[in-house]
Amino acid sequence: MAEIDTSSGGGKGDGKVRAKKHSARVDMTPMVDLGFLLITFFVFTTTFSKPNMMKLNMPEKEKDQNKPPETAEIKESNTITIIMGKDNRIFYHQKSSKNLTPELLNETDYSKDGIRTAILKAKVNAIDQTKFTVVIKPTDDATYKNTVDILDEMAITKSDLYAIVDPSKEELDIYKQKIAAPKQ
């Protein structure tokens, strides 16, 4: 900071009295405090973006562990089985895994003209549409994105009854035969 010379002049004695000039100094401490107060105010009052999550309804656990779980028999005509594979390949069928052949395992894609149409056709052709069930079987080659896409299709087609299970050994064998063939 500069100092102000308050000594009397150089002995000129001309009788004029001059006002002393003080240096202009602004204290910035209150401004910094105000800035931090504004920052904290805006941080606390802004709405934080909520992550978009898909709701996945899971059955409740039985309170009585000794009681066997309740099962329902599902007819093949009321189901469609979807097998998700690698490289965004998806297959579906409406047969039991024991009667499945490579010719009965149909390949499609994740578009609206693909798996969505297959689900809607199977739902229309079901004997009891209120009990129409989609069985989703992701293989180890399927990606998380594939699972999210197929769950989106469940919401779009309004298929409320669906299950995510592991593929059977027979289905995996047929899947491996189909995946070895080039994509059509």
Residue 110 CA to its chain's centroid (Å): 17
Mean pLDDT value of segment 118-133: 86
Mean pLDDT value of segment 167-171: 87
Q: HSE (CB half, 13 Å, CA atoms) of 173?
A: 8
Mean pLDDT value of segment 12-22: 69
Residue 4's pLDDT band, with cuts at 50, 70 and 90, is: low
Nearest of 163, 165, 179, 184 to residue 59 by alpha carbon: 163
pLDDT by residue (tens digit) across 131-163? 888 889 999 888 888 888 888 888 888 888 888
Nearest of 131, 133, 138, 132 to residue 165 by alpha carbon: 138
State yes or no: pLDDT of 1 exceeds 50: no
User: For the chain, what is the radius of gyration of the CA atoms?
Assistant: 37
State yes or no: pLDDT of 7 exceeds 70: no
Rounded to two decimals, the pTM is: 0.62
Q: 77 with 127: CB under 8 angstroms?
A: yes
CA distance 158 to 55: 14
CA distance 64 to 161: 24
pLDDT by residue (tens digit) across 62-85? 676 777 766 666 777 788 889 998
Nearest of 178, 184, 175, 159 to residue 97 by alpha carbon: 175
- The CATH number of the structural domain formed by 76-180 is 3.30.420
DSSP annotation of 24 reads: P
- Please report, for the chain, the start and end positions of each structural domain, with discontinuous segments joined by +: 76-180
CA distance 76 to 133: 9
Locate 176 and state its tokens: 């491996």
